[in-house]
């Protein structure tokens, strides 16, 4: 349980930093260009994103811990890739289907989302470490 809690905290912090860089820096001009599409009170609802980040980071870590095989960084990257595709495709292209955002924004959300989860998976693999081979008798 200790590794789950450590992984959860580290993933949450890393994802928050990556979200700031992606949405607050890289995509800032794209959001400004499409500002008429977004809620005018969006900033007052940012707490919702923090709650989503906490819950998502916990379950991302918890699920990893249940299937963890101790195979190293590649295991974490693979896990992050699978979860990243699963989580990002619905968010990015579901939003594209409902709101008139540019396709490039949806594609960037999808691709950056995958990158975030891959990095998160690598972080978990590092936190959990490799399992030591069982001693043979």
Segment-wise mean pLDDT, segments of 10 residues, the chain, 137 residues: 94 96 94 88 87 96 94 95 97 94 96 98 94 50
In a domain, 35, yes or no: no
pLDDT at site 7: 95
Coil, helix or strand at residue 18 = helix
pLDDT score recorded for residue 44: 86
Q: Is residue 97 part of a domain?
A: yes
Residue 137 pLDDT: 41
Answer yes or no: is 100 within a domain. yes
117 occurs within a structural domain: yes
In a domain, 106, yes or no: yes
Angle at 72 between CA 61 and CA 17, to 5 degrees: 45
Report the domain count for the chain. Answer: 1
* In a domain? residue 40: no
Q: How confident is the model at residue 135, as a pLDDT? A: 41
Give the Cβ contact number of residue 79 at 10 Å.
Answer: 23
User: What is the pLDDT, as a whole number, of residue 132?
Assistant: 62
Question: What is residue 48's predicted lDDT score, i.e. its pLDDT?
Answer: 93
Decide: pTM greater than 0.85.
Answer: yes
Residues spanned by the domain of 55: 2-28+47-128
Assigned token pair, 98: 């409902």
Residue 38 lies in a domain: no
Question: Would you state the pLDDT for residue 136?
Answer: 42
In angstroms, rounded to a whole number, what is the distance separating the alpha carbons of residues 88 and 72?
Answer: 24
User: Is 46 exposed, middle or buried (CB count within 10 Å of its CB: 0-12, 13-18, 19+)?
Assistant: exposed
The reply to whether 51 falls in a domain is yes
**Alpha helices, H only, 20-131:** 28-33, 46-67, 73-98, 103-128
Question: Do the beta carbons of residue 116 and residue 13 sit within 8 Å?
Answer: no
pLDDT of the residue at 16 = 95
């Amino acid at each position: 349980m200790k590794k789950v809690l450590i992984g959860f905290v580290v993933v949450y912090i890393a994802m928050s930093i990556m979200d700031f860089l992606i949405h607050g820096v890289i995509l800032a001009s794209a959001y400004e260009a499409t500002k008429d599409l977004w809620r005018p009170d969006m900033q007052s609802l940012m707490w919702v994103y923090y709650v989503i980040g906490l819950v998502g980071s916990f379950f991302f870590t918890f699920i990893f811990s249940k299937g963890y095989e101790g195979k190293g960084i590649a295991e974490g990257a693979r896990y992050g890739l699978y979860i990243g595709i699963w989580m990002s495709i619905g968010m990015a292209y579901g939003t594209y289907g409902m709101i008139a955002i540019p396709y490039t924004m949806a594609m960037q959300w999808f691709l950056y989302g995958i990158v975030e989860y891959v990095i998160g998976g690598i972080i978990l693999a590092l936190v959990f470490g490799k399992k030591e081979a069982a001693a043979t008798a």
